[in-house]
């Protein structure tokens, strides 16, 4: 709920259990508190010293506190605040200073995001500021929900003058936190090794994570947490920020001379500049800000609830997901109609309910050198097109899905021959998987790709689309933009991607779109707005996946992670793992298969069917439950507990890594349970009170290398 105290000029934004407070002081927005729920008491006694040595003061009559020390809601440039600004504007005469003053506010408004993904619903506050030095206005938007502990923010910059203004930087938010010792936690990685959590003390200066690749990337996820001293998995305070954005981004935490920390971010300012004509406005992506007093676990659960309740499409957020058998690791490019028909028959024997035909079905694609952009069936491979495949799926009461890579074009393609200038950049371009990125900043390119995909989806044969993206942008240049506006390309491109995603998901609402980018290279809240699940990683090895899924869970719900059982030895790592281990790890998300059932023994086929049966039973926990991380695979054992909201049903999955001779018995203490409930763990023959399992725990089983366990827990 949002409340404005007009006597004290103070805004109170309250979510499920937090307060976010700021006031208008001498025209400036002064940040006062973000944390546990507080009374509506003004907090004016928290005003600190008005300046430090070498702090510049605002001009006479415009404030008695230096902006250098004031905790701010959105920091401008050139006004004596030497911390990193949130916005940097250049006017026609080259001036860059701006000083934003409060003008008005409105509670209960909406914002026009266009195709930009954003959280749905909630109560929104808009605070309008005016630059006293130029004809620019700024709207700061804040949204809160009663059912979650997240607040979203974004900004709109409006040119109210008659001359264009260049936006050199426009972050989504600025959060000035009080002096304290903080640690940061980010999710870094690489292809086949996404989202490893890394925790580091925040030193003076700026800690900055970013992507300048035109996509959120495998290398760094648009999520940053700030941990106060003593913050652990289930105790202590922390903040988390995640961008509802899939393009080049930055998130930073800057520890200044006052020991306060400025957290901010949004579109990466590197190579970004946007010309804002008279009368135009610019909308930044949205950022989700979360506060937890229950450690990192509480933070993850709040973010998971927020994404499921307000970002992921309500049609899919809590809906049972299909159990897919995907053709990629089963046959790669090597297939024809007969081979696929028998793969579908095999898929039916595993218990899967959807068969997805991955790369290689279009143009004349026999490997990765050709045909992206030519989204017509490769009739030399599939003589009857896709209809017989969809029909065979129907015969087994299964659905049919298809892979696309809509944003790409191969140099060897009809599309590139017809429109070489539709690719971003000018030749010679950097090579990457023999393909170029289509210039989605040009509406005609988006329109063309929409037409191609829509034609196939209109047949009604396709119930599932896997939307892949296998290279990042280089030579950032568009033939469709004038010389002075090339800095707009990367953001315009991702807006084009969103436009296509919006049109396709609106026009084909029954089709489930799964996101993918060489695995989890675009695993972010922006993509989740359109695609309820994302292929988590191209690494399908159970041990590696335990780490990747564990890391991903810091910022995203398990239901967003697509997790398949693959062959052993694994194709990426060469590691052999038991079928049960692959099944247990793959049950912690939207499950499926990434293998050829023809290679499975009868016993393994039965295990596959059993996996699907059990998964169907516990799937509500993946879709709706809370996740408790019990042991980190980055430190040794892996264990997580999925617990229903009423704490009556649980699913505990773990993996013990490598066997060690004479290893000691290790205890696993549970979390999240109700102390006064009595819980039964049938697999262990244990019946015990919640507090016993929380404080004394159970023993980890002794298992072979990479062995896993999966236990159901019932409480009352
Ligand atoms: C990368 C994806 O992550 C894989 O699953 C597969 O779809 C390949 N691309 C196909 O080229």
Residue 664: predicted pLDDT: 85
Does residue 716 carry a pLDDT above 90? yes
DSSP annotation of 55:
P
Structure tokens at 361: 């079905």
pLDDT of 657 > 90? The answer is no
Answer yes or no: is pLDDT of 643 > 90: yes
How would you list the strands of the sheet with 2-5, edge to edge?
2-5, 10-14, 18-25, 28-36
Identify the CATH number of the domain defined by range 631-715: 2.60.40.1180
Write down the H helix ranges in 553-689. 579-586, 602-624
Start-to-end CA distance of the chain, whole Å, equals 34
How far is the C-alpha of 694 from the C-alpha of 697, rounded, in Å?
6
Q: Assess whether the C-beta atom of 361 lies below 6 angstroms from ligand 1.
A: no
pLDDT over 70 for what percent of the chain?
100
358 CA closest ligand 1 atom index: 7
CB-CB neighbours of 425 under 10 Å: 19
Q: Which atom of ligand 1 is nearest to the CA of 519?
A: 3
Q: How far is the CA of 259 from the centre of ligand 1 (A)?
A: 46
pLDDT band at 344 (very low <50, low <70, confident <90, very high): very high
Q: Compute the distance from residue 466 Cα to the ligand 1 centre, in Å.
A: 9
CB of 514 sitting under 6 A from ligand 1: no
Q: What is the pLDDT of residue 479?
A: 98
495-546 pLDDT, tens digit per residue, is: 999 999 999 999 999 999 999 999 999 999 999 999 999 999 999 999 999 9
Q: Are 45 and 8 in contact (CB under 8 A)?
A: no
If you take atom 9 of ligand 1, which residue's CA is the nearest one?
Answer: 518
Tell me if 523 CB under 6 Å of ligand 1.
no
Q: Is 421 a catalytic residue?
A: no
Least confident of 23-32, 622-631, 632-641, 655-664: 655-664
Among 19, 282, 301, CA closest to 154: 282
DSSP for 498-551 reads HHHHHHHHHH-TTSEEEE-BTTBTT-SHHHHHH-SEEE--S---HHHHHHHHHH
Dig out the tokens for 110 from the structure. 């909406």
Q: What is the pLDDT of residues 143-169, one digit of tens each?
A: 999 999 999 999 999 999 999 999 999
Given a cut of 90, is residue 229 above it in pLDDT? yes
Chain position carrying tokens 């000018």 = 426
Angle at 632 between CA 537 and CA 230, to 5 degrees: 125
By alpha-carbon position, which residue is closest to atom 2 of ligand 1?
A: 518
Q: Tell me phi and psi for residue 400, to 5 degrees.
A: -115, 140
Res. 579: pLDDT tops 90:
yes
pLDDT in tens, 45-54: 999 899 999 9
Q: Which of 191, 359, 571 to mutate to test the pocket of ligand 1 (most atoms within 8 A of CB)?
A: 359
Which residue bears the tokens 């959280």?
A: 119
Q: How would you write 297-319 as a 3-class SS string?
A: HHHHHHHHHHHHHHHCCCCCCCC
CB of 403 within 6 A of ligand 1: the answer is yes
Distance, CA of 658 to CA of 653 (rounded, Å): 17
Domains 2-311 and 631-715 in one fold: no
pLDDT at residue 416, rounded to an integer: 98
538 is catalytic: yes
pLDDT, tens only, 373-413: 999 999 999 999 999 999 999 999 999 999 999 999 999 99
Please tell me if the CB atom of residue 360 comes closer than 6 angstroms to any atom of ligand 1. Answer: no
The CATH superfamily assigned to 2-311 is alpha-galactosidase from lactobacil brevis (2.70.98.60)
Q: What percent of the chain has pLDDT over 90?
A: 98
Residue 449 is predicted with a pLDDT of: 98
Is 31's pLDDT higher than 90?
yes
At residue 663, the pLDDT reads 82
Instruction: Show me where the domains of the chain are located.
Output: 2-311, 631-715
Decide: 467 in ligand 1 pocket, CB within 6 A: no
Mean residue pLDDT of the chain comes to 97
Ligand 1 contact via 407 beta carbon (within 6 Å) = no
Arithmetic mean of pLDDT, 663-676: 95
Interval 275-318: pLDDT, tens = 999 999 999 999 999 999 999 999 999 999 999 999 999 999 99
Ligand 1: atom nearest CA of 403 is 7
The per-residue pLDDT for range 698-708, each reduced to its tens digit, is: 999 999 999 99
Question: What distance in angstroms lies between residue 641's CA and the mean position of ligand 1's atoms?
Answer: 30
- Catalytic-labelled residue, pool 68, 353, 468, 541: 468
**Tokens read off for 370:** 């050709």
**393: CA distance to ligand 1 center in Å?**
22
To the nearest 10°, report the CA torsion of 558, 564, 568, 569.
-70
Angle between helices 337-350 and 387-395 (to 10 degrees): 20
Contact 468 CB / ligand 1 (< 6 Å): yes
328 lines ligand 1 (CB under 6 A): yes
Find all residues with CB under 8 Å of 503, minimum gap 6, and list them: 450
* Region 554-568 average pLDDT: 98
Atom of ligand 1 at shortest range from CA of 516: 3
* Active-site residue, selected from the candidate residues 149, 439, 538, 626: 538
Q: How close is the Cα of 517 to the center of ligand 1, in Å?
A: 8
- Give tens-digit pLDDT for 245-270: 999 999 999 999 999 999 999 999 99
Measured in Å, residue 518 CA sits from the centre of ligand 1 at: 5
Q: Which atom of ligand 1 is nearest to the CA of 368?
A: 11
């Amino acid at each position: 709920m949002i409340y404005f105290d007009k006597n004290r000029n103070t805004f109170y934004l309250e979510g499920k259990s937090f307060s976010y407070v700021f006031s208008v002081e001498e025209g400036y927005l002064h940040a006062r508190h973000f944390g546990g729920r507080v009374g509506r008491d003004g907090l004016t006694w928290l005003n600190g010293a008005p300046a430090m040595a070498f702090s510049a003061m605002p001009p006479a009559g415009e404030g008695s506190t230096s902006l250098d020390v004031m905790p701010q809601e959105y920091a401008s440039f050139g006004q004596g605040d030497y911390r990193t600004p949130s916005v940097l504007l250049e006017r026609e005469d080259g001036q860059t200073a701006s000083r934003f003053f409060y003008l008005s506010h409105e509670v209960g408004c909406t914002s026009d995001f266009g195709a930009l993904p954003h959280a749905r619903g909630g109560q929104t506050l808009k605070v309008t500021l005016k630059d006293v030095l130029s004809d620019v206005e700024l709207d700061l938007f804040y949204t809160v929900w009663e059912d979650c502990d997240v607040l979203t923010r974004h900004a709109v910059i409006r040119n109210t003058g008659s001359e264009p203004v260049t936006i050199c930087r426009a972050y989504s938010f600025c959060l000035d936190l009080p002096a304290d010792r903080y640690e940061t936690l980010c999710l870094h990685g690489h292809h086949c090794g996404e989202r490893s959590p890394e925790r580091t003390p925040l030193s003076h200066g700026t800690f900055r994570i970013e992507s300048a690749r035109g996509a959120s990337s495998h290398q760094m996820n648009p999520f940053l947490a700030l941990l106060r001293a003593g913050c652990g998995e289930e105790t202590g305070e922390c903040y988390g920020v995640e961008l509802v954005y899939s393009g080049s981004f930055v998130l930073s935490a800057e520890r200044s001379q006052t020991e306060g920390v400025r957290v901010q971010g949004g579109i990466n300012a590197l190579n970004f500049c946007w010309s804002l004509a008279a009368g135009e406005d610019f909308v930044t992506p949205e950022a989700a800000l979360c506060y937890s007093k229950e450690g990192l676990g509480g933070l993850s659960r709040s973010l998971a609830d927020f994404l499921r309740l307000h970002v992921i499409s309500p049609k899919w957020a809590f809906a049972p997901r299909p159990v897919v058998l995907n053709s990629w690791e089963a046959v790669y490019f090597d297939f024809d109609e007969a081979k696929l028909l028998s793969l579908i028959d095999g898929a039916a024997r595993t218990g899967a309910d959807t068969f997805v035909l991955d790369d290689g079905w279009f143009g004349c694609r026999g490997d990765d050198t050709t045909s992206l952009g030519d989204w017509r069936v490769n009739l030399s491979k599939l003589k009857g097109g896709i209809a017989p495949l969809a029909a065979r799926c129907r015969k087994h009461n299964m659905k049919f899905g298809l892979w696309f890579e809509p944003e790409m074009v191969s140099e060897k393609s009809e599309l590139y021959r017809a429109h070489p200038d539709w690719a971003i950049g000018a030749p010679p371009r950097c090579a990457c998987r023999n393909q170029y990125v289509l210039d989605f900043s040009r509406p005609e390119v988006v329109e063309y790709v929409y037409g191609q995909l829509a034609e196939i989806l209109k047949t009604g044969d396709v119930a599932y689309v896997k939307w892949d993206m296998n290279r990042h942008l280089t030579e950032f240049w568009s033939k469709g933009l004038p010389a002075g506006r090339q800095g707009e390309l990367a953001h315009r491109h991702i807006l084009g991607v969103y436009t296509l995603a919006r049109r396709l998901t609106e026009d084909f609402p029954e089709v489930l779109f799964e996101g993918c980018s060489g695995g989890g290279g675009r695993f972010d809240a922006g993509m989740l707005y359109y695609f309820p699940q994302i292929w988590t990683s191209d690494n399908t090895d159970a041990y590696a996946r335990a780490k990747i899924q564990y890391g991903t869970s810091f910022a995203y719900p398990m239901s967003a992670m697509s997790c398949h059982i693959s062959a052993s030895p694994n194709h990426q790592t060469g590691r052999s793992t038991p079928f049960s281990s692959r099944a247990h790890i793959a049950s912690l998300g939207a499950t499926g298969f990434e293998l050829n059932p023809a290679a499975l023994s009868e016993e393994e086929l039965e295990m596959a069917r059993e996996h699907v049966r059990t998964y169907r039973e516990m799937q509500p926990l993946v879709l709706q439950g809370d996740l408790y991380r019990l042991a980190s695979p980055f430190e040794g054992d892996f264990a997580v507990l999925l617990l229903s909201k009423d704490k009556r049903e649980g699913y505990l999955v773990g993996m013990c890594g490598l066997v060690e001779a004479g290893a000691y018995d290790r205890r696993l203490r549970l979390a999240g349970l109700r102390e006064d409930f009595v819980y039964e763990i049938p697999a262990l023959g244990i019946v015990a009170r919640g507090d016993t399992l929380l404080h004394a725990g159970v023993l980890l089983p002794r298992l072979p290398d990479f062995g896993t366990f999966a236990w159901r827990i019932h409480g009352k």
